[in-house]
């Protein structure tokens, strides 16, 4: 099996904020370096976990430029450029091409719930404009609209749309997508699991890796799962996955993401601040659950 274009473990990086709520560039650089040193092959900046809706245009560019300066060349840098406005998505996707990013992650337009032909037109417009590859981000639980398999197959035929971050939560459907992609000759179109707790089912369904939140705290272990699975050591992969599944589930479900992972990082002494409104800091009860889960996993 050839190595995935952007690596196997891609961390959807949180955006650190200072005590006054401003973007903490120094902490972002430090965190990016730490993630690469702890198993991340790539980073997604200004995605859902990076609180992209709260970042200004200038903050996004500053974040991209500084993280590229810090770890570019050592990790793939994928930047979130999708919004619910095609014009804005096209503009930002064009602009980042000159920064040295490796790809754009483009989320399904949210709130407006476009029909499937609208999704086709949206993603094609962005991919036509971008000078770097585009990954579709399919997360209907947040956007309210699913990219149907037939639509994804049409998108895969576009020369600049190279994969999908699959956060649908249906491994059987992911397997069907992989089967249909291969049958249509789109064998190079890559599927990334977009949900940590679905990693093992998604690997079995044909995913090449994961865009992970929990790799902030268990990056090496997630890398071990993928390596063991691809080496044919499925029992070992399952053992490691199940060992850390309770922790990953707690981080992702104790409250709205990325509140949990920011709390976990702060508990580890990795200062990333608290989320911006409308998200809030984890409550004391939520922090206790996260701490307990991390202690059981041997991380604290």
> Minimal CA–CA distance to 105: which of 60, 74, 145, 148?
60
Q: 138-156: per-residue pLDDT in tens?
A: 999 999 999 999 999 999 9
Q: 284-295: per-residue pLDDT in tens?
A: 999 999 999 999
Calpha distance 65→57 (Å, rounded): 12
Is-catalytic flag, 84? no
Q: Does the pLDDT of residue 2 top 90, yes or no?
A: no
CA 70 and chain centroid, separation: 19
- Output the six-digit token pair for 86: 């095609």
- Output the six-digit token pair for 262: 């920011």
CA distances from 140 to 14, 113, 171, 223 (A): 21, 10, 14, 26
Calpha distance 39→36 (Å, rounded): 6
Across the range 69-88, mean pLDDT stands at: 97
Is-catalytic flag, 137? yes
Calpha distance 209→3 (Å, rounded): 10
Q: 182-202: per-residue pLDDT in tens?
A: 999 999 999 999 999 999 999
pLDDT for res 78: 98
Is 67 exposed, middle or buried, given 0-12, 13-18 or 19+ CB atoms closer than 10 A? Answer: buried
Q: Does the pLDDT of residue 1 top 70, yes or no?
A: no
Catalytic position from the list 84, 111, 137, 233:
137
> Minimal CA–CA distance to 123: which of 97, 105, 145, 99?
105
Catalytic position from the list 165, 223, 262, 287:
165
Ordered by start, the domain boundaries in the chain are 9-234
Calpha distance 264→41 (Å, rounded): 21
Q: Are strands 103-107 and 190-193 parallel, antiparallel or unpaired?
A: unpaired
Calpha distance 143→80 (Å, rounded): 15
Q: 229-269: per-residue pLDDT in tens?
A: 999 999 999 999 999 999 999 999 999 999 999 999 999 99
Q: 37-63: per-residue pLDDT in tens?
A: 999 999 999 999 999 999 999 999 999
- Percent pLDDT > 70 in the chain is 100
Place of tokens 């599927």: 191
Calpha distance 290→175 (Å, rounded): 32
Beta bridge partners of 43: 11, 77
9-234 to CATH, choices 3.10.105.10, 3.20.20.70, 3.40.630.30, 2.30.30.60: 3.20.20.70
Do 178 and 191 contact (CB within 8 A), yes or no?
yes
User: 3-state SS of the chain?
Assistant: CCCCCCCCEEEECCCCECCCCCECHHHHHHHHHHHHHCCCCEEEECCCCCCHHHCCHHHHHHHHHHHHHHHECCEEEEEECCCCCHHHHHHHHHHHHHCCCCEEEEECCCCCCCCHHHHHHHHHHHHHHCCCCEEEEECHHHHCCCCCHHHHHHHHCCCCEEEEEECCCCHHHHHHHHHHHHHCCCCCCEEEECCHHHHHHHHHCCCCEEEECCHHHHHHHHHHHHHHHHCCCHHHHHHHHHHHHHHHHHHHHCCCCCHHHHHHHHHCCCCCCCCCCCCCCCCHHHHHHHHHHHHHCCCC
CA distances from 81 to 41, 115, 200, 274, 276 (A): 20, 21, 28, 23, 19
């Amino acid at each position: 099996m050839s190595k995935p274009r952007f690596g196997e473990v891609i961390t959807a990086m949180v955006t650190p904020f200072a005590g006054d709520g401003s973007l903490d560039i120094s902490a972002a650089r430090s965190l990016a370096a730490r993630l690469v040193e702890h198993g991340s092959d790539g980073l997604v900046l200004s995605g859902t976990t990076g609180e992209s809706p709260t970042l200004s245009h200038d903050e996004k560019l500053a974040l991209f430029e500084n993280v590229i300066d810090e770890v570019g060349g050592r990790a793939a840098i994928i930047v979130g450029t999708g919004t619910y406005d095609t014009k804005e998505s096209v503009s930002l996707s064009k602009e980042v091409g000159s920064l040295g990013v490796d790809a754009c992650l483009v989320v399904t337009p949210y709130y407006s719930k476009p029909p499937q032909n609208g999704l086709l037109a949206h993603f094609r417009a962005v991919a036509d404009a971008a000078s770097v590859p585009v990954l579709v981000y399919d997360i209907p639980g947040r956007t309210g609209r699913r990219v149907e398999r037939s639509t994804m197959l049409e998108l895969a035929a576009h020369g600049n749309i190279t994969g999908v971050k699959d956060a649908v939560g249906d491994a059987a459907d992911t397997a069907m997508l992989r089967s249909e992609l291969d049958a249509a000759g789109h064998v190079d179109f890559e599927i990334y699991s977009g949900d940590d707790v679905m990693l093992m089912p998604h690997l079995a369904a044909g995913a090449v890796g994961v865009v992970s939140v929990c790799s902030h705290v268990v990056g090496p272990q997630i890398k071990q799962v993928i390596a063991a699975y691809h080496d044919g050591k499925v029992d070992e992969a399952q053992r490691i996955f199940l060992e850390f599944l309770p922790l990953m589930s707690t981080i992702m479900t104790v409250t709205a993401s990325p509140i949990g992972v920011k709390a976990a990082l702060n508990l580890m002494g990795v200062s990333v601040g608290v989320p911006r409104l409308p998200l809030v800091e984890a409550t004391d009860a939520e922090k206790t659950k996260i701490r307990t889960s991390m202690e059981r996993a041997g991380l604290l």
